[in-house]
Copies of this chain bind each other. A is one copy, B any other.
Amino acid sequence: MRHSIKPFLAIEINDRASEMEKQGIDVVRFSLGEPDFKSPKVVKNACIRAIRQDITRYEHSQGMIELRQAIAHHYRKKYRVKIGPEQILITPGTSQALFLIFSVLLKKGDRVIVPNPHYPADTNFVEYSGGEVIPHPLSEETGFHWDLSLLKKQISPKIKAIFVTSPANPTGALTTADEYRFMARTGHFIIADEIYHGLTYKGEEHTALEFTDKCFVVNGFSKAYAMTGYRLGYVIAPKKYLEAMRLIQQNFYISVTSFVQAAGVAAITQAQEDVHRMRVEFEKRRSVMLTGLKELGFPINYVPEGAFFIMANARHLSRNSLWLAGDILKKAHVAVTPGEDFGSQTRGYLRFSYATGIPRILEGLKRLKGYLSSHFVCQKL
């Protein structure tokens, strides 16, 4: 067997939580990687309308032209970057987009700078395509932001690309204009996963496209639009690579679900108020979660600027966050994700997702408080 990819610990914890729920145990999920919101009504209605109108046949392998036009317009309006529909490939989610990018970009042995911590699949994408991961360690002291002096040292002709996620999973850190500018100046490709755009609470969202054309920008509808189950994403790429990616998609996938693309048009053109409403709610939750975790003694010394995650240092409780996450689930019935899942830099951390309502966040914090007071002697820092 050629490819053996390790399972995500996050999913393992979620699976165990599901098992407990089946046994009738109420579990508070701070482990979720998707919004708990329903998808916007205009989106649902557009999807239903498309099915009724029998938009149920193969679409163009590059994606529905109306959707690509809407995306191009969105980028002109929001980021003032000029891209055309011919530079966009619609994909079944951003994961597939990343798979396609690395498939066409990397030759065996090409090196890609990937932050540590990172979304677990990120290194799998690189390695599956024969690339080599050059980890760029991020630390809480700098708010999990890029270390530009280190990045300067890591730059070499062997590097093919720099892989950015902004806002980042698992830390929530937002890549700044300065960071993007620095990366652009290296002359390497930037691969920017911007799927959490729209969910930023501090600072300004920038797309890599503002700083260079030598980039692949990945985005989609799962997070800001609460459309995870639709499976709809896209990549904006240099034309030369776009055509190669389209041909792989045509071979391995044919086209993206047709009526889902119609739903995407409605999302981008009619659901901005919904996006705003959810963002406001996420911001409130973030505040409740941050305050609560600090009160429980977690020394959180950075500002998670976006997405819906907080990385909390839990080394005062245990160096082994996989054990700790398991123990918390078992004893407090709260599911959290061990930091190990995201790389060595966040060993001993726990990832808290606030993609769940405030009453549940408060309930989870209460349970954690009970757990900590029963099992640890903790002092507020």
Contacts and interface: CB of A to CB of B under 8 A. Distances in A.
A139 B255 CA distance: 32
Contacts of A48: 48, 51-52
Interface string A238-276: 001100100110111111111110000000000000000
Given A56-B38, A56-B228, A5 B44 contact: no
How many monomers of this protein are in the complex? 2
B52 A44 contact: yes
Contacts of A6: 247
B52 A3 contact: no
Given A124-B251, A247-B5, A56 B39 contact: yes
A253 B4 contact: no
B229 A58 contact: yes
Contacts of A254: 93, 95, 228, 231
A127 to B, nearest CB: 11
A259 B259 CA distance: 11
A18 B44 CA distance: 30
Contact of A104 (B1, B47, B125, B244): B1
A56 B229 contact: yes
A57 interface: yes
A10 B377 CA distance: 70
Given A95-B253, A103-B2, A129-B2, A39 B54 contact: yes
A203 interface: no
A130 B7 CA distance: 24
B260 A125 contact: no
A240 B58 CA distance: 32
Contacts of A253: 92-93, 95-96, 231
30 contacts: A1-B104, A1-B105, A1-B244, A2-B104, A2-B105, A2-B107, A2-B108, A3-B104, A5-B247, A5-B250, A6-B247, A34-B57, A34-B58, A44-B54, A48-B48, A48-B52, A55-B229, A56-B227, A56-B228, A92-B92, A95-B251, A95-B252, A96-B253, A121-B252, A124-B251, A128-B251, A228-B254, A230-B258, A231-B256, A257-B260
Given A39-B54, A44-B52, A125-B251, 15 more contacts: A1-B241, A2-B107, A2-B108, A5-B250, A5-B251, A11-B61, A34-B58, A48-B51, A58-B228, A92-B231, A93-B254, A99-B252, A125-B252, A231-B253, A231-B255
